[in-house]
Structure 1
């Protein structure tokens, strides 16, 4: 089987649809005050990950619906509660989001685009066949608690929206790599956003409404933007599509590479069959994908990495990643 190494680290606020869970080795952030972003050096988690050759494949979040809230200014570790957003509203909003399986992300315009800031918010649906993103403007934060999260409010976005994780209060690498990328990306619809997960894969990008996660995006991200403008994925940096179980993400990535299929809708999952009990050190599945000339079958295996290492800049202890291995049959 071909192998990739990954430490899935999606933010679990909230989990995805029932029955779709995040990977086992999720590493929760240490809840301490954010240190200054500093500079990129050999001790940063993203530098160590690149040196090891870590792969972000199969690390996209389980969430498929999002609430984007424009909130300029600093963000603490818990962005919603540690920002200039109304603290009396934050708890109620987080409760509703968890109940409705909607993930909340704070967003702000990058660099000199900050002057464009207003009190915007958006509902995003990334479920296959329902994809859409709708922007609205709020008079007060409290409006969001009762606002419709179903696409009936707001104006639809005209193309892909790019969110670049720049949440330095959560992990320094996100700011040090994410903020320059957000300023440089050649698109009018680019935003800095709060924690996406997978800090060591910075710079991380989420392309909406489809929910494609990317990591270790180089340069100004022009190749990624060009791909999505043409309705394609940028495979070299693709972590996976949100909402798909990790073994499906791994199988899709391998099949895309082998078959040369890079359309955003290519290779949807038809079936996933677990072959081993959940929680075992080595887990196996068979995954069936719908290909253009018939089903594509994949044998997928996940196991712990041989070595343990610190997975984020804040990590206090070493931990094992998951490695993903795929054989197309």
Structure 2
């Protein structure tokens, strides 16, 4: 819980069959891709390389996805995903990266109606991601088809196998096949599953925790039904959260975590504990 990538609001996923080195910054890619990744990261866009499970095709052609997840009280229409298959990497020059970073649809590709399901299999970064992620990606692709891609590091190696559901930026971790299938099926019907849910990308960690505790208390699972409107303070943090017409004040305490799996798993160690959750009103309930 509360361990999804905080800075990942805008996303850019580019097909590359690999091999993937430990750090993607050192990857040998065509100049148009390298320039796009460099410019995108300067703007705060989360960049991922993706590939199909099993026999890998050479690129180009290559698939590129751009998307944005609504955060910090933003309206739901800022959640979107576009996809396009490029015949030449130079076509990336048409992508409005500044618009993407600010949440504006660039019109670079066609709207993607279904989800993009990214399973981290970046074994050079952490062996657990290949050992647990690769077979999970194969199983999910067998069930859910072209929505599923292997991807580079998403953060939180100690939670492998990791799954990111775009465009909403939902992170799930410590997944086996049954838990992953349950999470994907819930996402396809517009819901979250609290079991193994790490949080929602783009939100500060205390806000992710506040959303989780409100869902746990209320039983409200709709992806769009719970929204963190504000976050203030510094342990305890105070979050104002709306959920299906209800308004909550949530007080969250920070707790420093310890590394359970050695020095290679140094990310996402902190935890957030519920201090108080208060229902303020039900005035808009029918």
TM-score bin (small chain): 0.7 to 0.9
In structure 2, the partner of 1:265 is 224
What are the equivalent positions in structure 2 for 1:69-108 lying under 5 Å apart? 69-83=14-28, 85-86=29-30, 88-89=31-32, 91-108=34-51
In structure 1, the partner of 2:191 is 232
Equivalent pair of 1:133/1:151 in contact (CA under 8 Å): no
Equivalent pair of 1:200/1:312 in contact (CA under 8 Å): no
**Alignment equivalent of 1:209, drawn from 167, 188, 205:** 167
- Structure 2 spans left out of the alignment, 5+ residues: 71-75, 98-104, 279-286
Structure 1 residue 311, shift from structure 2 partner: 5.0
Q: Secondary structure at the match of 2:78?
A: coil
What are the superposed Cα offsets for residues 221-270 of structure 1, whole Å, 9 maximum, x if unpaired?
21112101110012101111111111110011111111101100122011
Cα RMSD (Å): 2.2
Equivalent pair of 2:156/2:268 in contact (CA under 8 Å): no
**Alignment equivalent of 2:200, drawn from 241, 255, 264:** 241
**Alignment equivalent of 1:303, drawn from 255, 259, 264:** 255
Q: Secondary structure at the match of 2:236?
A: strand
Equivalent pair of 1:172/1:313 in contact (CA under 8 Å): no
Matched, 1:68 2:25: no
In structure 2, the partner of 1:109 is 52
Equivalent pair of 2:156/2:265 in contact (CA under 8 Å): no
In structure 1, the partner of 2:281 is none
What are the superposed Cα offsets for residues 190-231 of structure 1, whole Å, 9 maximum, x if unpaired?
000001000010010110011111101122521112101110
Bigger Cα displacement from structure 2, 95-104 vs 251-260: 95-104
> Runs of 4 or more off by more than 4 Å in structure 1?
307-312
Q: Secondary structure at the match of 1:191?
A: strand
Structure 1 residue 310, shift from structure 2 partner: 4.9
In structure 2, the partner of 1:288 is 240
Aligned equivalents of 1:314 and 1:80: distance in 2? 20
Structure 1 residue 140, shift from structure 2 partner: 2.9
Structure 1 residue 320, shift from structure 2 partner: 9.6
In structure 2, the partner of 1:183 is 138
In structure 1, the partner of 2:283 is none
Aligned equivalents of 2:125 and 2:232: distance in 1? 36
Structure 1 residue 81, shift from structure 2 partner: 3.1
**Alignment equivalent of 2:95, drawn from 141, 147, 154:** 147
Matched, 1:162 2:93: no
Aligned equivalents of 2:175 and 2:49: distance in 1? 21
**Bigger relative contact order, structure 1 or 2, given CA contacts below 8 A and separation 6+?**
1
Alignment TM-score, normalising by the size of structure 2: 0.83
- Structure 1 spans left out of the alignment, 5+ residues: 1-56, 277-282
Alignment TM-score, normalising by the size of structure 1: 0.73
Aligned equivalents of 1:80 and 1:163: distance in 2? 19
In structure 2, the partner of 1:325 is 273
Q: Secondary structure at the match of 1:187?
A: helix
What are the equivalent positions in structure 2 for 1:103-142 lying under 5 Å apart? 103-112=46-55, 114=56, 118-127=61-70, 128-142=76-90
Aligned equivalents of 1:244 and 1:259: distance in 2? 20
What are the equivalent positions in structure 2 for 1:20-39 lying under 5 Å apart? none
